[in-house]
């Protein structure tokens, strides 16, 4: 489905990931190209962290991990 979305004129990788996560509720992909997510991963795990190794732990729920990682920064005191 991700590839099908990207074939729509004007939909790139980021948009397809966004639609998959928020629009359809498909949480099995990690939107690794997202700048805010990269920033939060580096902040929490360090700049040299192996993101694919860390994200593998979450399996088919990796999208939830990414979503909550981004959302957590909204609630930091």
More confident residue, 21 or 47: 47
pLDDT tens string 16-35 = 877 877 777 677 776 666 77
Tokens, residue 72:
């957590």
Q: What is the mean pLDDT of residues 69-74?
A: 77
Tokens, residue 33:
């190209």
In the predicted structure, residue 5 carries a pLDDT above the cut 60? yes
pTM over 0.95? The answer is no
Tokens, residue 77:
């005191």
Which one, of 42, 34, 24, lies nearest residue 67 by Cα?
Answer: 34
State which H helix or E strand residue 5 sits in: helix 2-6
Q: To the nearest 10°, report the CA torsion of 50, 40, 20, 52.
A: 0
d(CA 8, CA 36): 25
């Amino acid at each position: 489905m991700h590839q099908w979305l990207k074939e729509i004129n004007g939909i790139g990788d980021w948009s397809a990931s966004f639609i998959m996560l928020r629009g359809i509720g498909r949480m099995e992909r990690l939107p690794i190209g997202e700048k805010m997510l990269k920033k939060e991963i580096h902040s929490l795990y360090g700049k040299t962290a192996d993101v694919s190794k860390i994200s593998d732990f979450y399996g088919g729920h990796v999208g939830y991990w990414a979503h909550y990682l981004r959302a957590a920064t909204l609630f930091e005191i």
